[in-house]
């Protein structure tokens, strides 16, 4: 690769082109067991019963963990990076399609997957809401009734930037436009799916995990919070990572199941590798985008400001460009809960949509033709 600074050779390429990378799926510990996650087919449903008898009778199954198992050990809920909580395994009800309901530990991953089909979950489907705007309506199905006193799906309002200056610039503008934009909910999809190998040594009390993580230090803190271990007893190893784009920052319920499983029953490490379909839960995000022309300026699409956006997703706060084209900007929004999977941040994706929308739509409204 040649850059302005001369030729750069990446040290990892020598291994990668020879097939000698070490991704988490290449980490193999002696006696390792394999985990698989049973997921909800319903977007919103009450769990009436979970029957694991047949799965536990499978000759290669070592353990079946359910929300009830975790609840008994106060491990059914975990913190999220957005300051919220999410279920590790569902207890009372499932709140999004694909939610984790049970976890099987078996001698090999084919057997673990076989055993998923032996688990019988009885659901009572509930009304679901799939649109962030409808989620805020009166009478919308309440997703998080596990929070005492909560009566709606509105989580919080947020704003950042200089409101006064931005308002003044918009007020004085020669022309302003406002455009509602809907675009699909996104979830990063690196080629390597999420995965973990967890090894808890009950004698030393130390936990070692190999995880495809972009944020091993944050993972260690979160595992310490959930597992009640001091951080110095936890070692998180990020081997080669097959892409990330933001989704390998948070921890996932399957990771905690693997960790719980590694300290549970037989003293053997556990592996979980998530299947591709687990990431693909559709949804939509709404943003309202405002643009303006600077007073006295020419009608140039380059003179623009990005002002406001409202988003409805369950992950990290979106980063907003505050100063674009030399103008102040401001961002605010309401955060609504809907029945989509709690999502991670999405590197680089959240930012381009409004700046791109404004130069496209602003000239259109003004009857201008872009060069």
Partner 1 sequence: MRVAVTVNGTEYARDVEPRLLLIHFLRDELGLTGSHWGCDTSNCGSCVVWLDQRPVKACTVLAAMADGRSVRTVEDLERDGRLDPVQQGFIECHGLQCGFCTPGMMMTARWLLDRNPDPAEAEIREVLSGQVCRCTGYENIVRSVRWAAEHAKDAG
Instruction: Work out whether 241 is an interface residue with partner 1 (CB under 8 A).
Output: yes
CB 213 within 8 A of CB 238: yes
**Considering only residues 48, 163, 189, 368, which one is a binding residue for partner 1 as defined by CB under 8 A?**
189
Instruction: Work out whether 165 is an interface residue with partner 1 (CB under 8 A).
Output: no
CB 261 within 8 A of CB 63: yes
Instruction: Work out whether 247 is an interface residue with partner 1 (CB under 8 A).
Output: no
**Closest distance between partner 1 and the C-beta of residue 358, in Å?**
25
CB 367 within 8 A of CB 177: no
Of the candidate spans 10-18, 81-89, 334-342, 354-362, the one that interacts with partner 1 by CB under 8 A turns out to be: 10-18
**Considering only residues 4, 18, 184, 296, which one is a binding residue for partner 1 as defined by CB under 8 A?**
18
**Closest distance between partner 1 and the C-beta of residue 75, in Å?**
29
Coil/strand/helix, residue 206: strand
**Considering only residues 5, 9, 203, 296, which one is a binding residue for partner 1 as defined by CB under 8 A?**
9
**Considering only residues 23, 134, 360, 366, which one is a binding residue for partner 1 as defined by CB under 8 A?**
23
Instruction: Work out whether 17 is an interface residue with partner 1 (CB under 8 A).
Output: yes
Burial pattern 123-148, b for ≥16 Cβ within 10 A else e, equals beebebbbbbbebbeeebbbbeeeee
Residues 355 and 269: their CA atoms lie apart, in Å, by 47
**Burial bucket for residue 358 (CB in 10 Å: 0-12, 13-18, 19+):** buried
Instruction: Work out whether 199 is an interface residue with partner 1 (CB under 8 A).
Output: no
Instruction: Work out whether 280 is an interface residue with partner 1 (CB under 8 A).
Output: no
CB 225 within 8 A of CB 304: no
Instruction: Work out whether 11 is an interface residue with partner 1 (CB under 8 A).
Output: no
In the chain, the largest separation of any two C-alpha atoms, in whole Å, equals 78
Instruction: Work out whether 223 is an interface residue with partner 1 (CB under 8 A).
Output: no
Q: How many residues bind partner 1 (CB under 8 A)?
A: 31
**Considering only residues 80, 193, 214, 262, which one is a binding residue for partner 1 as defined by CB under 8 A?**
193
CA angle 230, 234, 240 (to 5 degrees): 150
Of the candidate spans 58-66, 171-179, 188-196, 362-370, the one that interacts with partner 1 by CB under 8 A turns out to be: 188-196
Residues numbered 107 to 146 that lie near partner 1 (CB under 8 A) are: 110
**Closest distance between partner 1 and the C-beta of residue 17, in Å?**
4
Coil/strand/helix, residue 290: strand
Q: Tell me, what DSSP letter sits at residue 202?
A: T
Burial pattern 220-233, b for ≥16 Cβ within 10 A else e, equals bbbbbebbebeeeb
Q: Which is nearer to partner 1, 191 or 370 (CB)?
A: 191
Q: Which is nearer to partner 1, 21 or 79 (CB)?
A: 21
Residues numbered 24 to 53 that lie near partner 1 (CB under 8 A) are: 25-26
CB 289 within 8 A of CB 357: yes
Residues binding partner 1 (CB under 8 A): 1, 9-10, 12-21, 23, 25-26, 110, 189-193, 240-245, 273, 275-276
């Amino acid at each position: 690769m040649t850059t302005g600074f001369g030729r750069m050779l990446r040290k990892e390429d020598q291994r990668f082109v020879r097939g000698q990378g070490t991704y988490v799926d290449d980490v193999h510990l002696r006696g390792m067991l394999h985990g698989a996650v049973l997921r909800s087919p319903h977007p919103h449903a009450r769990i009436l019963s979970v029957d694991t008898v047949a799965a536990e009778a499978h000759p290669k199954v070592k353990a079946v963990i359910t929300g009830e198992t975790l609840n008994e050990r106060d491990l059914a809920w975990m913190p999220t990076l957005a300051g919220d909580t999410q279920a590790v395994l569902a207890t009372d009800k499932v709140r999004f399609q694909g939610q984790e309901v049970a976890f099987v530990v078996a001698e090999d991953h084919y057997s673990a997957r076989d055993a998923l089909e032996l688990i019988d979950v009885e659901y009572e489907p509930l009304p679901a809401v799939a649109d962030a705007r409808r989620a805020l309506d009166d009478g919308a199905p309440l997703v998080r009734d596990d929070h005492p006193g909560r009566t709606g799906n509105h989580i919080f309002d947020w704003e950042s930037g200089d409101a006064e200056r931005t308002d003044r610039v918009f007020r004085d503008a020669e022309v302003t436009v406002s455009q509602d934009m809907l675009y699909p909910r996104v979830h990063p999809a690196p080629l390597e799916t999420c995965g973990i190998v967890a090894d808890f040594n009950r004698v030393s009390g130390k936990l070692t995990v190999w995880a495809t993580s972009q944020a091993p230090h944050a993972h260690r803190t979160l595992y310490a919070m959930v597992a009640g271990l001091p951080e110095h007893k936890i070692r998180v190893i990020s081997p080669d990572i097959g892409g990330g784009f933001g989704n390998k920052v948070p921890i996932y319920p399957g990771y905690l199941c693997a960790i719980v499983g590694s300290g549970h029953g037989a003293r053997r490490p556990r592996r979980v590798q998530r299947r591709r379909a687990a990431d693909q839960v559709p949804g939509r995000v709404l943003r309202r985008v405002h643009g303006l022309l600077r007073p006295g300026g020419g009608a140039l699409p380059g003179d623009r400001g990005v002002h406001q956006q409202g988003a409805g997703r369950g992950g990290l706060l979106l980063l907003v460009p505050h100063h674009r084209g030399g103008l102040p900007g401001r961002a605010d929004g309401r955060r609504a809960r809907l029945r989509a999977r709690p999502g991670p941040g999405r590197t680089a994706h959240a930012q381009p949509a409004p700046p791109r929308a404004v130069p496209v739509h602003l000239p259109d409204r003004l009857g201008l033709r872009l060069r």
